[in-house]
Structure 1
Amino acid sequence: MVSQRRSKARGLVDRLGGWYLGLRPESGSYTVEAVKIPLRDGISLAGDVYTPCLDRGREACGTILVHGPYGRTLLTAITDASLLAARGYRVVLVSCRGTFGSGGTFDPARAEANDGQDIVEWMRGQPWWTGRFGTYGASYLGYTQWALLRDPPPELVTASIAVGPHDYSTHYWGTGSFRLDRISWSDMVAHQEDEGWSPKRGPLRLVVGNSKIKDVMRDLPLAPAVKSYFGTKAEWLDYPITHSDITDEYYKPMQHNMALERLSVPILLTTGWFDPFLVQTMDQYASISERTNVGLTVGPWSHLPASGISNLGEIFDWIDEHLGQKGNSSRPDAVRIYVTGAEEWRGMKKWPPETKPQDWFLHAGQRLDTNEPAGELHYSSFTFDPSDPTPTIGGPHLVSKGRVEDSALASRSDVLVFDSAPLQDDLEIFGKPIITLHHKSDLPYADLWVRLSEVDRKGKSHNITEIYRRLDPKRAQNKVVKLSLYDTAHRFCKGTKIRVIVAGGSFPAFARNLGTAENQSLGDRLQAVKHTICHDGSSNSRIMLPVRC
């Protein structure tokens, strides 16, 4: 294949991008060579090799593998390849099978483990191979790294993974309810190679939105509506949308928990407090932080800002240190987190820091207090109606503004809201709040959505963290439901109120519970469900806040 040198126009784009993102200056230009990478099953993947233009006798700083389904155009390559190549790294940018010239059929998250190993085997046979490489990428490009790390190549020296799940199956059904962003994401991928330009093509399709997809999500039965919309596109949804058991053999190729046990190289993990993969990133950190060198950065971001753009300089510094071997660490603390409320970054040795549990009890009159209820038993109830589901407002979702004003939820009849009195002092929490609810429902088919929010001095509420769970229909009624919310780092400032919101759904983040025994993706009957929370007497309900010592 013939190598093409970077054009002047692309060089200008690269330099402007590097300046905007606060990166160190370029070390030079680069060339791009299109390649075909053979796989064990006879197909070939399409890729581009970015090679830095260096003085005679100088070697590239190192080789970086980037493997993903979103193409190799200027828009995707600028953060995935060109900015690194302009700083001395050779980058191998490879398209997943079935995308952008790669052979085979795209079947999300099911072929990446074997394909990743075959890419590395191909790299070993190239004349530029030095015996060392790193990996880099965000979101799906983070997932492909975990798939490779299931059986870590001995030549791998570091990885940088932003908002990347190691278990793709839990993003489908981990809460017990189908995540509807799987439909909007599939819509983006199914149309990303359409001819011509459109503002609703590629990642912009997710950001701009698609009104037809919203109609599909609301239509019943869900699975036939999705099939009718996509036709022969996005056939990868056909099976998982109707199969909620993630122990099913279908999901095993998506599950790479073994990677957490086998990883031994330095790794940088990046996420945001409002990213849907936050739980997995924090599990990754907890699993490997005692065994290897782990950097963890958690910002005030939702998924797209947390995908590396917001801290690309930090990521490049990590790569420089561990692959480029460019001196000592520029990272003073292993853990760097943003504290919302305080609106400041903090460095820590580990996550979470030392905390002490502080219980806040749900009282009659929808009050929240540290005093344990006593005396007469009290209940609060609400009814979730799947024909008018509780709306999603902000939160940790694939396309979301993350932290937003959610005051509108308090005016709905299908939620319970418990507020504290204005705080007399600042209160900082770090880690996972835990909600304990004495709960029953008049039908066994029910979901719970719980959110922790803050009410400011003007009476406006903003979300902090939350959890969604489909309850086991075989559970005993009027028993304790105990759920851990997402990790958070937040300061409730003096004069603000702590708010706990309890509801039976969050649509369109999650597929509605129809209130029936039918397969929830094939059913079309709707039944409203009455939820009752006991919050006084010996059966008190409460939220535990992990308060900073």
Structure 2
Amino acid sequence: MTAFGAVVEELATDVILPAGDGPFPAVLVRTPYDRTRHRAEARGWARRGFAAVVQDVRGRFASPGEWRPYADEAADGAAAVRWIRRQPWSDGRLVAVGASYAAHCALVLALDAPEDARPDAVLAAVPALGPAETAREASGVERLLSRAGWWAAHGDRPDSDESALDKALATDPGLLTHLPLTSLPERLGRGLPSWAGLWRRRDRGRLIARAAHAAVPLLAVGGHHDHFTEDTVALWHAWGGPSARMLLGPWDHGLGSTPGPDAGPAHRVNLGELYVRWARRALTGELVPGRHGAQALGGADLWLPAGTNGEPRTQRPRLLHGAAFTADPDRPVRSDDLTVPTDGPPDRCLLATPPLPRPHDVVGHVSVHLRATAHTPSADWAARLVALTPQGVGERLAVGIVRRDEPAGREGAFTVDLGRLARRLPVGTRLRLEIAGHHFPAHARNPHTGEDPLTAGRLHASRREIDPAGVALSLPVLPSRPTPVDPAQEILR
């Protein structure tokens, strides 16, 4: 292998070439997370016959310029692609590869760059589609903890400090309760001029809309425990290229390095080897047309075809307590604690199902339908589903949150989408459903006044009522035991 550095349109770039004379197909990774952290990955691509090119995006680490998240990646990526294709070691074929923000860099090359600078295939893992998608849920509720963590670690600085928010919270536990949230950087003690601008972005769905016009193969990789799961699936569904493949494992944002509690031995996948094999087939046109892939069934140690969905079944959970409760922003229901307090006035409505009489393979979108009342003009409704195993262990299954603005005291009927689930629930499992007004600090607290949660300076308590007879939990259950598939075969077919 041959390795060398380069300056591509003034951006720091590492190139590792395979042994031999070439020319070679290339892999391009553009990252804000320090290109030197990708050297082992780049060497792996080079050992398998690909010229590996890894670049620090503008304004990060060794690359000069101003770091403007999501603003310059199409133009800078296009310049990198054109440079690669002019090199004597390049055969002109190129795969854009990336995870998280780097997946955004890869996707905008395929969807926004001029035609002569587009890659021949895209591999997008746990994709951050854009600022609007990362900042808010599809319902509009703000993702506070993940955005504060990312901006503290990476925002408006040339380097990164992955533990910045953890260190700040250790010395200032109340940091994320600061009001208004737009001035949070002042309490953090760091200049973050791009923080306020993040929350003004409302162009959710732009890349998904563009994906319908894609002209190259896609491999989308995600995890059922990742906060971008829905975006990964939406990208796969919308992709208009000649082929689209998806792999969803029982993983967190770190994919195979961060398996969930439902992961089994069959879910250990050599992603690097799979990526290489897919890239070869994508570049040679050997993939059959259409959408294919695999999703893990957690708790069952097997894989299902990516398009598998169960049949909706309605569960009517029984009220335990809290048909009337108070959503108090000074005592919010926390996203990082499954403990339900037993003292004081209720802070949530708590319901539970009887033990499951048989195993349930739940695959698809989970939702809960409510009839409920808030005595404030604005209210968030957070629904959290927890599995209580026969052994007495509580496991978080799914969470959803919606914001409703309507006259105080008016009962409304509405649905909360809890996202995708792919889990085998053993016989005897009870399902605990919590309905609350907060899911903090994962999500910002609603001030309950109708004001913007980002700029509000005061928060008020909100009285709530739930009609227990109007609570219906919809679970997509497979009607029979599924036939497992080999994930590699599904990706490479």
> Aligned residue pairs: how many?
461
CA distance in 2, matches of 1:213, 1:95: 32
Classify the secondary structure of the residue corresponding to 2:370. strand
After superposition, the Cα gap between the structure-2 partners of 1:261 and 1:328, relative to the gap in structure 1 and judged at 3 Å, is closer
After superposition, the Cα gap between the structure-2 partners of 1:224 and 1:192, relative to the gap in structure 1 and judged at 3 Å, is closer
User: Which of residues 435, 449, 459 in structure 2 aligns to 1:526?
Assistant: 459
CA distance in 2, matches of 1:64, 1:102: 19
User: Which of residues 295, 298, 307 in structure 2 aligns to 1:351?
Assistant: 307
1:277 is aligned to 2:216: no
After superposition, the Cα gap between the structure-2 partners of 1:410 and 1:172, relative to the gap in structure 1 and judged at 3 Å, is same
1:130 is aligned to 2:104: no
Does the 8 Å contact 2:358/2:427 carry over to 1? yes
Does the 8 Å contact 2:227/2:253 carry over to 1? yes
Does the 8 Å contact 1:163/1:307 carry over to 2? no
- Report matched runs for 1:81-120 at 5 Å: 81-120=42-81
Does the 8 Å contact 1:410/1:417 carry over to 2? no
User: Which of residues 445, 469, 473 in structure 2 aligns to 1:543?
Assistant: 473
- What is the aligned partner in structure 1 of residue 131 from structure 2? 168
Normalised TM-score (structure 1): 0.77
The residue type equivalent to 1:131 in the other structure is G
1:36 is aligned to 2:7: yes
* CA offset digits 1:238-261 (Å, max 9, x no partner): 3234x3x615xxx8xx94234311
* CA offset digits 1:413-462 (Å, max 9, x no partner): 31222111111111111110121111210102211111222111132221
- Kindly report structure 1 stretches of 4+ aligned residues shifted beyond 6 Å: 206-209, 307-310, 327-330
For structure 2, the residue ranges without an aligned partner over 5 or more in a row are: 259-268, 480-493
The structure in which a higher percent of residues are strand is 2
After superposition, the Cα gap between the structure-2 partners of 1:260 and 1:307, relative to the gap in structure 1 and judged at 3 Å, is farther
Provide the aligned C-alpha RMSD in A: 2.9
Deviation at 1:328, TM superposition (A): 6.9
CA distance in 2, matches of 1:151, 1:475: 45
The residue type equivalent to 1:172 in the other structure is A
For structure 1, the residue ranges without an aligned partner over 5 or more in a row are: 1-29, 39-43, 195-200, 367-378, 395-405
Does the 8 Å contact 2:23/2:89 carry over to 1? no
CA distance in 2, matches of 1:88, 1:208: 42
Does the 8 Å contact 1:69/1:96 carry over to 2? yes
- What is the aligned partner in structure 1 of residue 418 from structure 2? 485
Deviation at 1:334, TM superposition (A): 3.1
- What is the aligned partner in structure 1 of residue 273 from structure 2? 313
CA distance in 2, matches of 1:356, 1:482: 18
* CA offset digits 1:127-167 (Å, max 9, x no partner): 33322110111111111112112236466322211100323
Does the 8 Å contact 1:168/1:255 carry over to 2? no
- What is the aligned partner in structure 1 of residue 297 from structure 2? 339
Does the 8 Å contact 2:319/2:350 carry over to 1? no
After superposition, the Cα gap between the structure-2 partners of 1:257 and 1:190, relative to the gap in structure 1 and judged at 3 Å, is closer
Does the 8 Å contact 2:46/2:52 carry over to 1? yes
User: Which of residues 436, 461, 485 in structure 1 aligns to 2:369?
Assistant: 436
The residue type equivalent to 1:287 in the other structure is A
Deviation at 1:33, TM superposition (A): 2.0
- Report matched runs for 1:278-293 at 5 Å: 278-288=229-239, 292-293=242-243
CA distance in 1, matches of 2:212, 2:172: 39
After superposition, the Cα gap between the structure-2 partners of 1:211 and 1:86, relative to the gap in structure 1 and judged at 3 Å, is farther
CA distance in 2, matches of 1:393, 1:160: 32
Does the 8 Å contact 1:179/1:509 carry over to 2? yes
Classify the secondary structure of the residue corresponding to 2:475. strand
Deviation at 1:213, TM superposition (A): 7.1
- What is the aligned partner in structure 1 of residue 328 from structure 2? 385
Does the 8 Å contact 1:169/1:246 carry over to 2? yes
Deviation at 1:231, TM superposition (A): 3.8
